[in-house]
């Protein structure tokens, strides 16, 4: 693939992710300026529950679908059927287990998360980067529009339902996949090892990298107000992670097809170091001036900005491992991260509050990346 073609493809993904993340950030930052940290934390706690259960439902993970679609193995319909069926069942379980005002909304967004992931995996696997950008921008635009609309009509309690509705237009994409190819469980049986490993990895990385398990731990440990501050810090870190995330989405189907990208990988690492430094010195000042209610997020952001560097390296290595169907390495790395994060948040969080929680994230991410580097060196 020519250098110009690579830049064009990365730009198609990148443009959508940058503008999409910006639109999403505008909404979340605006919401943070309007409501109390405890209310902000409560919303993110329920989103964390939906995120964990949607990860459990996703037997056909984004990475699995991307890899096999790139290899032109028509397995999407089968994986979609299993994942969607599981999401409906788990949605009902969530409604029963977590009775509250938000329960039905959480069940709906759980299914919406799965629909979104299945559609995105298919688009990336087909290398339809322009279509991916269009879908992403529409969804983020709906997040912004519906988020504001529902907030002003019904209050912050309706935000989760607004987010769920923003994903529903992906249903058309899923329907077209079912029409294009038949459900064939034989395809699953032949590839059960890779699919299962990738599924377990997705549960672990979804819980850790998706910022879900930490939300579930922080709320009962430190309260919704601290979770609100931590969630705002995560929003800032997610913005800092835009470029490495963009490159990962581009890199995985390329690695799956046997295409190497050495120079872009070096550029991403250098860029992540620069972003981390900027986050440490600039982001806290913005929080102090724009979100005075979330002052406890300032120190957390200074610490969590360090996460950008190991996460960038980990994403590059994960794309290489998964592209070569070495999913066992990734699942072990995800397990290492989950153990360090869970223990760290409970112990350090209890001792040092939000500062301990922030350091737990840095330690967990660094531990996983160190493992990847060792395995990559050995291989």
Contacts of 315 (CB under 8 A, 6+ apart): 244, 245, 247, 248, 251
Each residue's pLDDT tens digit, 322-340: 777 777 888 888 889 889 9
Each residue's pLDDT tens digit, 208-218: 555 578 888 89
Arithmetic mean of pLDDT, 316-324: 79
The band of 8, judged by pLDDT with boundaries at 50, 70 and 90, is low
Q: What is the DSSP letter of 60?
A: S
Report the pLDDT value the prediction gives residue 153, as an integer from 0 to 100: 94
Q: At what angle do helices 103-125 and 242-256 cross, to 10 degrees?
A: 50
The band of 288, judged by pLDDT with boundaries at 50, 70 and 90, is confident
pLDDT at 192 over 90: no
The band of 309, judged by pLDDT with boundaries at 50, 70 and 90, is very high
pLDDT at 139 over 70: yes
Strand ranges inside the chain, DSSP E? none
Question: Which of 357, 236, 110 has its CA nearest to residue 102?
Answer: 110
Q: What DSSP element (H or E) covers 248?
A: helix 242-256
Phi-psi sector, 74: left (phi>0), alpha (psi -120 to 50), beta: beta
Write down the residue that tokens 């759980």 correspond to: 110
Average pLDDT over the chain reads 85
Return the C-alpha torsion angle 103, 106, 107, 109, nearest 10.
160
Report the pLDDT value the prediction gives residue 196, as an integer from 0 to 100: 86
Percent of the chain with pLDDT over 70: 89
Distances (CA, A) of 218 to 8, 41, 45, 214, 313: 41, 10, 9, 6, 27
Report the pLDDT value the prediction gives residue 147, as an integer from 0 to 100: 93
Q: What DSSP element (H or E) covers 306?
A: none
The band of 206, judged by pLDDT with boundaries at 50, 70 and 90, is low
Q: Check residues 205 and 283 and name the one with the higher pLDDT.
A: 283
Report the pLDDT value the prediction gives residue 261, as an integer from 0 to 100: 63
Report the pLDDT value the prediction gives residue 208, as an integer from 0 to 100: 55
The band of 64, judged by pLDDT with boundaries at 50, 70 and 90, is confident
Arithmetic mean of pLDDT, 53-75: 83
- For the entire predicted model, the pTM comes to 0.83
Arithmetic mean of pLDDT, 179-189: 84
Arithmetic mean of pLDDT, 350-361: 94
Report the pLDDT value the prediction gives residue 184, as an integer from 0 to 100: 82
């Amino acid at each position: 693939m020519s250098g110009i073609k690579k830049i064009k493809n990365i730009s198609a993904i990148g443009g959508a992710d940058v503008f999409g993340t910006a639109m999403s950030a505008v909404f979340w930052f605006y919401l943070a300026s309007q409501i109390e940290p405890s209310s902000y934390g409560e919303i993110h706690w329920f989103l964390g529950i939906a995120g964990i259960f949607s990860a459990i439902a996703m037997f056909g993970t984004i990475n699995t679908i991307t890899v096999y679609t790139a290899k032109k193995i028509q397995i999407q319909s089968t994986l979609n059927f299993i994942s969607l069926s599981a999401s409906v069942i788990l949605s009902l379980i969530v409604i029963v287990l977590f009775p509250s005002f938000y329960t039905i909304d959480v069940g709906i967004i759980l299914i919406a998360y799965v629909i979104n992931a299945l559609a995105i995996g298919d688009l990336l696997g087909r290398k339809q980067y322009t279509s991916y950008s269009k879908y992403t921008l529409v969804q983020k635009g709906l997040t912004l529009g519906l988020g504001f609309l529902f907030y002003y009509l019904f209050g912050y309690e309706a935000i989760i339902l607004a987010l769920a509705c923003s994903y529903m237009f992906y249903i058309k994409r899923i329907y077209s996949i079912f029409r294009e190819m038949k459900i064939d469980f034989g395809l699953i049986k032949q590839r059960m090892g890779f699919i299962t490993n990738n599924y377990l990895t997705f549960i672990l990385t979804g819980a850790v990298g998706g910022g879900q398990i930490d939300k579930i731990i922080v709320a009962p440990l430190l309260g919704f107000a601290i979770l609100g501050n931590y969630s705002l810090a995560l929003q800032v870190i997610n913005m800092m992670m835009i470029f490495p995330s963009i490159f990962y989405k581009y890199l995985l189907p390329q690695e799956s097809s046997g295409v190497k990208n050495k120079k872009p990988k070096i550029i991403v690492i250098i860029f992540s170091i620069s972003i981390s430094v900027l986050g440490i010195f600039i982001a806290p000042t913005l929080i102090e001036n724009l979100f005075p209610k979330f002052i406890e997020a300032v120190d957390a952001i200074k610490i969590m900005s360090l996460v950008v560097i190991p996460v960038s390296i980990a994403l590059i290595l994960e794309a290489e491992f998964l592209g070569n169907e070495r999913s066992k390495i990734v699942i072990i790395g995800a397990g290492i991260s989950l153990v360090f994060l869970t223990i760290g948040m409970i112990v350090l969080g209890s001792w040092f509050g939000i500062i301990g929680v922030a350091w737990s994230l840095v330690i967990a991410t660094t531990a996983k990346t160190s493992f990847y580097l060792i395995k990559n060196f050995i291989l």
